[in-house]
Amino acid sequence: MKLASWNVNGLRAIFGKNLVAYLEEFGPDILALQEIKVQEDQLPPEFHENPVLKGYHKYYFPAEKKGYSGTAFFTRKEPLAVHKGMGNPEFDREGRVLTLEFADFYIASIYFPNSQHELLRLDYKLAFNEALLKYARKLDKAKPVILTGDFNVAHEEIDLKNPKENMMNPGFYIDERKWFSKLVHPDTGFCDIFREQHPGEADRYTWWSYRLRARERNIGWRIDYFVVSNRLKARLGEATLEDEVLGSDHCPIGLVLKD
């Protein structure tokens, strides 16, 4: 089973670019989406009529605020259940966590808050992080968990092009990184599967600024992840960054889940 995740920076925008071509070429069985920025009834008729998209069950968790945030799933296999949010209105109104339950695992599409310029939303993000960890641990007691999406943090210096210049900046601030270290600590029970498979591989990123030809020059950050329950690792194939795929300021990431 091919899993994929992509911060599309607007589902309507990516549909008008290369979403369908991506699905045809890479053929994910489950695609998690973040920052969809749309309510389902705002999608154009041609979206619903597209023959490729008709091959997927679709689930949406938009933010209450239109044109903002939101998560979604496209999946070939119908899940046992769909869970919107974490049961916390403060975070759920922004549509940041959508979870599908299958027979032997959960998978959550997550769009973590950005701590913003001058760290104005750092406290909100750290509170979200702790709520997410509690939620993931609760799910993990029932069956293995796959957390995927835009975590809005580069964990280590290897995960962004210019770490020294970004030490005090949102997305690389020490408190954000410490929380991610806790998330993927062996005692917590989860791992960053791409970094585990590629421990020393530098210059591999998932997000690039639209400014100063950053993507062309590969001045980027790795902030999109598959974080998985450790006991699921025996079933995992290769974790990939599909950085050749254009259309958003993020690229898709992939993971193979064996039967």
pLDDT confidence of residue 77: 97
177 and 139 Cβ atoms separated by less than 8 Å: no
pTM score over 0.75 = yes
pLDDT confidence of residue 177: 98
Q: Which residues are catalytic?
A: 111, 150
Alpha carbons 173 and 77: distance in angstroms, whole number = 39
Alpha carbons 187 and 114: distance in angstroms, whole number = 26
State the total domains in the chain.
Answer: 1
Where would I find the H helices in 141-254?
174-183, 193-197
Full strand arrangement of the beta sheet holding 30-34: 57-61, 71-75, 30-34, 2-7, 253-257, 236-241
pLDDT confidence of residue 26: 97
- Would residue 150 be called left, alpha or beta, if left means φ above 0 and alpha means ψ between -120 and 50 degrees? beta
- When pLDDT is cut at 50, 70 and 90, the band that residue 236 belongs to is very high
106 and 191 Cβ atoms separated by less than 8 Å: no
Taking residues 169-197, what's their average pLDDT? 97
Its sign, for the CA torsion 54, 35, 125, 189, is positive
Please tell me whether residue 99 adopts helix, strand or coil conformation: strand
Across the chain, what does the average pLDDT equal?
A: 97
> Tens digit of pLDDT for each residue in 88-125?
999 999 999 999 999 999 999 999 999 999 999 999 99
Q: CATH number of the domain that 200 lies in?
A: 3.60.10.10
Taking residues 184-202, what's their average pLDDT? 97
Burial 203-230 (b: 16+ CB within 10 A, else e): ebbbbbeeeeebbeeebbbbbbbbbbbb
> pLDDT over 70 for what percent of the chain?
100
Domain of 186 in residue numbering reads as 2-257
Alpha carbons 243 and 142: distance in angstroms, whole number = 34
> pLDDT over 90 for what percent of the chain?
100
Alpha carbons 87 and 74: distance in angstroms, whole number = 23
- When pLDDT is cut at 50, 70 and 90, the band that residue 41 belongs to is very high
Please report where in the chains the tokens 């791409």 appear, as a residue: 194
pLDDT confidence of residue 12: 98
